[in-house]
Amino acid sequence: MRRAALALLAGALLTGCSTGSDAVDVNNGGEFRYVAGTPRGEVIPPEERASAPEFSGNLLDGEPFSSTALDGDVSVINFWGSWCPPCRVETPEFQEVYADVRDQGVQFLGINVKETDEQFAQAFVDNFGIEFPSLHDPRGEVALAFRDYPANAIPSTIMLDRQGRVAAVYTAEVSQEDLRATLDLLLAEGA
């Protein structure tokens, strides 16, 4: 009986923010979904870091964007959707951190996924006063580019070091404390 209850609970957690059958096939056939990850995430040692893939697309304001714009800075890439409850908690906290570090060589980029109507995404950004840009990625193509990292769990956050290498991966809501600690670590590298 207890095993059955645990299996049912695990299934519910894995489908909490599931999007349905039109999801992009990423990471071994997975769909975009909310999963309970490790809150502290994983910081990758410098000698084990791999270069992040290049990607491009249009920002919510319609402007074109290329990942080369992140070159030379520490970058926080956050995969989010207005349909995802943890994103409503995390995104305003990201804005607070962004306001504190944007003049220290840190860039933030949101990746809005599985949002076919940009109006919902823009309303989300406007409602929370988000100042950092967000790429509109309704088909999850950027997540597909990051296939070696679990960017199909929403929210997910990938942090890049100044060399454009993947330095940290979070597959759950990131606390402000953990975000700041990892940024401090990455900013101190090579300083």
pLDDT, tens digit (0-9, with 9 covering 90-100), for 82-108? 999 999 999 999 999 999 999 999 999
Number of structural domains the chain divides into? 1
Per-residue pLDDT band at 69 (split at 50, 70, 90): very high
pLDDT for the residue numbered 191: 62
Domain that holds residue 96: 2-188
pLDDT for the residue numbered 30: 38
- Backbone phi, then psi, for 132, in 5-degree steps? -80, 150
70 has a pLDDT exceeding 70? yes
pLDDT for the residue numbered 1: 40
pLDDT for the residue numbered 79: 93
Residue 6 one-letter amino acid: L
Q: Which two tokens stand for residue 96?
A: 């607070």
Q: How many of the other CB atoms lie within 10 Å of CB of 44?
A: 17
Q: Which two tokens stand for residue 160?
A: 């890049």
Q: Give the separation between CA 101 and CA 32, rounded to whole angstroms.
A: 29
Q: Give the separation between CA 135 and CA 47, rounded to whole angstroms.
A: 30
pLDDT for the residue numbered 140: 85
pLDDT for the residue numbered 152: 65
Q: Which two tokens stand for residue 88?
A: 């409503």
Mean pLDDT to the nearest integer, 75-80: 96
In this predicted structure, which of 30-39, 102-111, 121-130, 132-141 has the lowest mean pLDDT? 30-39
pTM, two decimal places: 0.79
Q: Give the separation between CA 165 and CA 163, rounded to whole angstroms.
A: 6
Q: Which two tokens stand for residue 13?
A: 């957690």
Closest CA to 98 of 26, 159, 165, 162: 159
Tokens 């300083």 -> residue: 191
In this predicted structure, which of 45-59, 106-120, 123-137, 138-152 has the lowest mean pLDDT? 138-152
> What's the CATH code of the domain at 167?
3.40.30.10
Q: Give the separation between CA 114 and CA 20, rounded to whole angstroms.
A: 10
